[in-house]
Amino acid sequence: MSTHKQAEEAIVSNFNETDHDGGGKEAEDNSDDHAVVSFKDMLWHGGSAYDAWFSCASNQVAQVLLTLPYSFSQLGMLSGIVFQVFYGLIGSWTAYLISVLYMEYRCRKEKEGVSFKNHVIQWFEVLDGLLGPYWKALGLAFNCTFLLFGSVIQLIACASNIYYINDHLDKRTWTYIFGACCATTVFIPSFHNYRIWSFLGLGMTTYTAWYMTIAALVHGQAPDVVHTGPKKLVLYFTGATNILYTFGGHAVTVEVMHAMWKPQKFKYIYLLATLYVFTLTIPSASAVYWAFGDQLLNHSNAFSLLPKTAWRDAAVILMLIHQFITFGFACTPLYFVWEKVIGMHDTRSMCLRALARLPVVIPIWFLAIIFPFFGPINSAVGALLVSFTVYIIPALAHMLTYRKASARQNAAEKPPFFMPSWTAMYALNTFIVIWVFVVGFGFGGWASVTNFVRQVDTFGLFAKCYQCKPPAHPTALPPQHH
C-alpha cells in the first residue's frame, strides 16, 4: 500500500513541475537571462497558488455584486446574509470536490503514461475518465450552457453599466459595441495568462463593493424607505437563486487548477477566496438595501439608485473593464471545447486558434440582445444550470467515483482533516444534492422562470432599453435633452 502511495506522490510531483501549456515553469526558469522576458512572465505567466486565489476571488463576483442588493430586497436582510454564508460554504465544498476528482483523474492517466503537454484538462474529461461517456455528455451539456449564459450576462452587464454614464445610446446599441470589444478575448491563450488581469480584477471589485457600501451609508436612508421583504414566495426564491448563482462561479475550477504548477495546492484556495468575497458582498448588499429598501425591487442594478458622482462613474468604468476580463474567463473554457471539437486544440499558432474561436462569440452576442434582463437572467441561469453544474454533479460524481472500497483505499486524496470518515463525506454530499435539487432547482427554477417570463411579457424580447428612464412625455415625444 505504501509503495503505491509513494508512486502516486512521485507522479503528482512530476506532473506539477512539467507538462504545462503556456510554458509556465520552463518560462519561469529561463527568464533569468532576459530582464524583458522576466517582466513579461511576471505579468503573463501565472501558475502559483496566489494566481489561483486571485483568479477565484476576482471572478467569483463581477456584475453579481450589483444585483445582490436587488436580491436582498426580495429576501430581506437576514435571509440575504444567511443565504450568502450558506451558499458560499457549500460552493467552497463542491469546488474542493472538483479539485479532488481532477487529482484522481490526473493520477490515473499519468500512471497510464498519458502526457498533457499541449492539452488543457477540462471538467467533462475528468467525468469521462472517472465515470464514463454518459457523465461526460452530462458535464459537457451543463458546463457549456452555463458558461455560454455566463458570458451573455457579462455582455448585458456591460451595456447596463455604461448606460449610467452615457445614456445618449440605448442599452441595446451598447451591447453591439461591447460584443465587438469582448470578441478580442479570442487572443488570450489560456488561464496561465490571466495573472495581471485577475490581480487588477480583484482590485476593481474591491473598489466597487466599498464604494457601494460607503455611498449608501453617506446617502443615508431614502425618504419613506420601506423594507417589506420577504413579501412573495416567487421573489424570495428568485433572490435565493441569485445568491446560489453568485457562489457557483467555479465552472472553470479544473482549467484554473490545470494552469497551476502545483495543482494539489488548490484544495482550500476556493474557500479562502470565498471568505474574502464575503467582505465585499455582505457589507455592500446590506448597506444599499438599508438605504433604498423596496425601491430595489424595480432596480436590479444598484448603480441606477446611487447618486451620480465621480466616485460612481469610476466604479462603473472599473466594472466595465472587469466584465471584459470575466467575459474572457467564462469564454476561455468554451474556446477550448470548440477547439477540441474542430481539431484545433493542439495548434501552435495563436492567430489560427483565435480565428477558429470566433464562432463561439457570435451566439453569445445574439442572446445578449434577445434577453437583456439584467438580474432576472442571473436567477434563471442559477436555478436551471448552476444548480447542476457546480453543486449537484460534483457531489454525485464524487460519491460514485469512491463508491467501491478499493477506490476509497487507493484515493489520490483522502477525506480532509475536519471530516471524520468517508461516511460523513457521503452524508454531506447527499444533503447538498437534495437541498440544491429541491430548493435551488425546484423552487428556484419555478420562481426565476416565472419572474423571467414576466420580464419578457413586460418588456418584450430584443428590449431596446431594459429598466431605463421613461421619456418625460411619451405622448408628445419632445426632443430629449441630456
- Which CATH number goes with the domain that contains 368? 1.20.1740.10
CB 274, CB 60: distance < 8 Å: yes
pLDDT tens-digit series, residues 8-47: 444 444 444 434 443 334 333 443 444 444 555 555 556 7
**Residues ≥6 apart with Cβ < 8 Å to 44:** 192, 193, 195, 196
Q: Is residue 219 part of a domain?
A: yes
**Which pLDDT value is given to residue 260?**
83
- Residue 481 pLDDT > 70: no
What phi, psi does 457 have (nearest 5°)?
A: -65, -35
Q: What is the pLDDT of residue 29?
A: 41
C-alpha R_g of the chain: 23
| Residue 36: count of CB within 10 angstroms of its CB | 8
Q: What is the mean predicted confidence (pLDDT) over 396-401? A: 95
Q: Which domain holds residue 252?
A: 48-459
Q: Does the pLDDT of residue 207 top 70, yes or no?
A: yes
2 in any annotated domain: no
CA-CA distance, 473 to 467, in Å (whole number)? 17
With respect to residue 111, please indicate whether it lies within any of the assigned structural domains.
yes
> Of all residues in the chain, what percent carry a pLDDT higher than 90?
26
Separation of alpha carbons 80 and 243, rounded Å: 8
Domain total of the chain:
1
Q: Which of 453, 469, 169 is nearest to 298 (CA)?
A: 469
Is a pLDDT exceeding 80 seen at residue 385? yes
Q: Is the pLDDT at 149 greater than 90, yes or no?
A: no
Q: Is residue 145 part of a domain?
A: yes
pLDDT surpassing 90 at residue 93: yes
Most confident of 56-65, 114-123, 167-176, 291-300: 291-300
Statement: residue 386 has pLDDT above 60: yes
Report whether pLDDT(95) > 80.
Answer: yes
Please report whether residue 354 resides in a domain. Answer: yes
- Say which residue, 305 or 326, is predicted with more confidence: 305
Whether 429 maps to a domain, the answer reads yes
State the Cα–Cα distance between residues 245 and 62, nearest whole angstrom: 12
In a domain, 15, yes or no: no
Domain assignment present for 368: yes
What is the predicted pLDDT for the residue at 327? 80
Average pLDDT over residues 151-179: 76
pLDDT digits (tens, 9 = 90+) for 228-238: 878 888 889 88
